């Protein structure tokens, strides 16, 4: 899968304002709405799906990465965003450490392939310590895309 079909400069947020897991999820969802990837009138439905998924099991992984995601028929196709919070957020990660990088995906309930491929590809890229260092220092969304594309 080419993640750059779904991930563009308007779906990358370099400085999350949020301080809590629910705030991060809502702020990233709003980025997807502002980018036209999710209809504004579907916000409540998509947010409920994201929070329900998070309630089942935290999407805070290891190594500073969190992958909030959900499947819902409120979207017609995969929508994805990446965000960074240099100060970190407690996302109930598996390793107990704060999360700094967030990858959000929302996809139709009827399609699992693109959703899983996207998460796997972005996770592979972000699991590289050198890439994380470069992404933490990136000054623009375009630079984030360039760093991720090189990997």
Return the pLDDT at 83: 96
Interatomic CA distance for residues 90 and 83, integer angstroms: 15
Share of the chain above pLDDT 70, in %: 96
CA-to-CA separations, 48 to 71, 146, 148, in angstroms, rounded:
11, 33, 30
Give yes or no for a contact between 60 and 93, defined as CB atoms under 8 angstroms apart.
yes
Structure tokens at 119: 């998460």
Return the pLDDT at 151: 67
**Active site (catalytic) residues:** 69
Give yes or no for a contact between 3 and 122, defined as CB atoms under 8 angstroms apart.
yes
Return the pLDDT at 4: 66
Return the pLDDT at 72: 95
DSSP H/E element including 148: helix 141-150
State the average pLDDT over residues 119-128. Answer: 84
pLDDT band at 2 (very low <50, low <70, confident <90, very high): low
Return the pLDDT at 1: 53
User: Which residue ranges form the domains of the chain, and what is each CATH number?
Assistant: 3-150 (3.40.930.10)
Q: Which tens digit of pLDDT belongs to each residue from 15-63?
A: 999 999 999 999 999 999 999 999 999 999 999 999 999 999 999 998 8
Structure tokens at 26: 């809502």
State the average pLDDT over residues 81-90. Answer: 95
Interatomic CA distance for residues 45 and 50, integer angstroms: 9
Return the pLDDT at 117: 83
Q: Which tens digit of pLDDT belongs to each residue from 99-116?
A: 999 999 999 998 777 778
């Amino acid at each position: 899968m080419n993640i750059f079909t779904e991930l563009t400069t308007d779906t990358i947020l370099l400085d999350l304002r949020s301080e809590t897991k629910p705030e991060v999820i809502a702020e990233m969802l709003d980025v997807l709405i502002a980018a036209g990837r999710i209809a504004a009138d579907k916000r409540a439905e998509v947010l409920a799906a994201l929070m329900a998924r998070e309630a089942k099991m935290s999407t805070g992984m290891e190594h500073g990465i969190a992958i909030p995601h959900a499947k819902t028929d409120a979207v017609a196709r995969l929508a994805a965003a990446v965000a960074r919070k240099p100060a970190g957020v407690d996302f109930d990660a598996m390793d107990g450490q704060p999360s700094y990088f967030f990858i959000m995906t929302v996809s139709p309930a009827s399609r699992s392939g693109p959703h899983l491929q996207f998460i796997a590809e972005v996770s592979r890229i972000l699991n590289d310590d050198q890439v994380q260092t470069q992404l933490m220092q990136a000054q623009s969304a375009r630079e984030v895309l360039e760093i991720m594309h090189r990997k």
